[in-house]
Structure 1
Amino acid sequence: MQPVDAIGWAASLILLATLLRQVYVQWRDRSTAGVSSWLFVGQCAANAGFALYSALIGNAVFVFTNVALLATALTGQWIYRRNRAREAAADGARR
């Protein structure tokens, strides 16, 4: 591995760790406070495009990173929708 690749892999892991932490907190708190569904929609679209672009230019670091980010965004969207449904059910039960 080239030193420049090590920088790319390290940056990739840092970014993934921060996003995974955010998705975990959203899952743990079972809340949508401060989170928009459009965040995940935009992230999915961007990461799918970047993954395709990275594959076409043959950059393994960015292919891995963007596929992993796409998976994180899909998971985040699923958790967001689950939490919204729970919040709506709780609001309906209070009425």
Structure 2
Amino acid sequence: MEDIIGWAASAVLLATLVRQIVKQARDPDAEGVSTWLFLGQATASLLFVVYSALVGNWVFIVTNSCLLLTALVGQWISWRRRGRR
């Protein structure tokens, strides 16, 4: 039962982040997140992936891997936008 709650929370969180990335990608005037926020999120997500793997928690391994991916994609979009300006 605990895993179902964890997977549901993961799905909700990732859906909101993916929606934000899609919105950012479609809006040419959208500002990206600050570099420090990106670095903090990416570092925390990577450390949480390592920790989750060490304790064997698949919900958090997958969730934090996806969070790291969303941080990377969001930052890539921001960098591309800044390069075009």
Compute the TM-score of the two structures, normalised by the length of structure 2. Answer: 0.91
Aligned-partner SS, 2:37: helix
Q: Is the 8 A contact 1:31 1:84 kept in 2?
A: no
Q: 1:34 to 1:85 in 2, by over 3 A?
A: closer
- In the alignment, the residues of structure 1 paired with residue 36 and residue 75 of structure 2 have an alpha-carbon distance, to the nearest angstrom, of 9
- In the alignment, the residues of structure 2 paired with residue 56 and residue 35 of structure 1 have an alpha-carbon distance, to the nearest angstrom, of 30
Compute the TM-score of the two structures, normalised by the length of structure 1. Answer: 0.82
Count of residue pairs brought into register by the alignment: 85
List alignment gaps of at least 5 residues for structure 2: none
Aligned-partner SS, 1:33: coil
Q: Specify the alignment match of 1:91 in structure 2.
A: none
Q: Percent identity?
A: 58
Q: Is the 8 A contact 2:46 2:64 kept in 1?
A: yes
Q: How does 1:57-76 map to 2 (within 5 A)?
A: 57-76=55-74
- In the alignment, the residues of structure 2 paired with residue 81 and residue 32 of structure 1 have an alpha-carbon distance, to the nearest angstrom, of 12
Select the structure of larger CA radius of gyration. 1
Q: Specify the alignment match of 1:90 in structure 2.
A: none
RMSD value, Cα: 1.3
